[in-house]
């Protein structure tokens, strides 16, 4: 099994909660959004920092369990800009991915933290970002299982998104409860997972902390070998 927590820290506010989250039994990785990357520790419990974005004020990071995984490579990526990005963050790195080798099973794996454009943007832009992110992660680890977790900022019309990512060979997995309740009209599953070459055994919404998002715990197992997926708009 692979166990990964994704958490949007709300402008780094929830950084003090990570040491406790890292004690989650059999936890393999932490994928973070809205962090101050320059202030991140190299280690959180048994987890080691694989990589973080470098140019965002509010960045992304991936931590992994060093005694189980060997780190091969990591990259951060810019995605198509929203109006918010053009005004506030002209070089928005909205994706960081790490290629790992699982020493227990000898599988390779690409693990990624993703943060889509905010709600001021259209769903069509977020779909573009998700599609581009999947393509970039495939370049990082062609033919290996991919798990991309994070804040998708996609509270409405997820059935349409599910069908679109499925056409490209990905599964979309929501958590058992809502992950965001701050806005009256935009409550729902903001934080979830898309994956390829894995079986998602469950996505659990954890206890609320000081962030406006609630962390999720994704449990996955290795599935069938990844086949080439047809392109989709």
Domain ranges of the chain: 2-222
Q: What is the pLDDT of residue 53?
A: 93
CA distances (Å), origin 150, targets 224, 225, 231: 24, 24, 23
24, 5 in Cβ contact below 8 A? yes
Q: What is the pLDDT of residue 91?
A: 59
How much is the pTM? 0.91
Q: How far apart are CA 68 and CA 49, in angstroms?
A: 14
Q: What is the pLDDT of residue 198?
A: 97
- Cα–Cα nearest to 1, from 131, 105, 129, 80: 105
Q: What angle do CA 2, 8, 117 make, to 5 degrees?
A: 110
Q: Which CATH class is domain 2-222?
A: alpha beta
Q: What is the pLDDT of residue 228?
A: 46
Per-residue confidence in pLDDT tens, the chain, 233 aa: 999 999 999 999 999 999 999 999 999 999 999 999 999 999 999 999 999 998 887 899 999 999 999 999 999 999 987 665 655 555 579 999 999 999 999 999 999 999 998 877 788 899 999 999 999 999 999 999 999 999 998 876 677 888 999 999 999 999 888 888 765 555 567 899 999 999 999 999 999 999 999 999 999 999 865 554 434 44
Q: How far apart are CA 195 and CA 53, in angstroms?
A: 21
Q: What's 138-158 look like in SS3?
A: HHHCCCCCEEEEEECCCCCCH
């Amino acid at each position: 099994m692979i166990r990964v927590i994704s958490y949007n820290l709300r402008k780094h506010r929830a950084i003090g909660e990570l040491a406790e989250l890292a004690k989650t039994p059999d936890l393999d990785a932490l994928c973070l959004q809205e962090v101050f990357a320059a202030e991140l520790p190299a280690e959180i419990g048994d987890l080691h920092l694989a990589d973080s974005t470098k140019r965002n004020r509010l960045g992304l990071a991936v931590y992994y369990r060093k005694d189980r995984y060997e780190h091969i490579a990591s990259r951060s990526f810019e995605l198509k800009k929203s109006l918010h990005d053009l005004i506030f963050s002209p070089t928005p790195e909205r994706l960081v991915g790490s290629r790992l080798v699982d020493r227990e099973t000898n599988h390779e794996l690409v693990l990624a933290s993703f943060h889509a454009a905010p709600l001021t943007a259209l769903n069509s832009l977020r779909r573009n970002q998700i599609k581009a992110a999947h393509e970039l992660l495939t370049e990082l680890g062609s033919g290996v299982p991919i798990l991309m977790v994070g804040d998708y900022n996609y509270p409405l019309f997820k059935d349409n998104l599910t069908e679109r990512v499925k056409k490209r060979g990905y599964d979309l997995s929501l958590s058992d409860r809502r992950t965001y309740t701050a806005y009256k009209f935009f409550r729902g599953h903001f934080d979830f997972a898309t994956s390829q070459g894995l079986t998602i055994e469950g996505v659990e919404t954890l206890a609320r902390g000081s962030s406006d998002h609630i962390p999720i715990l994704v449990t996955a197992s290795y599935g069938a070998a990844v086949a080439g997926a047809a392109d989709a708009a």
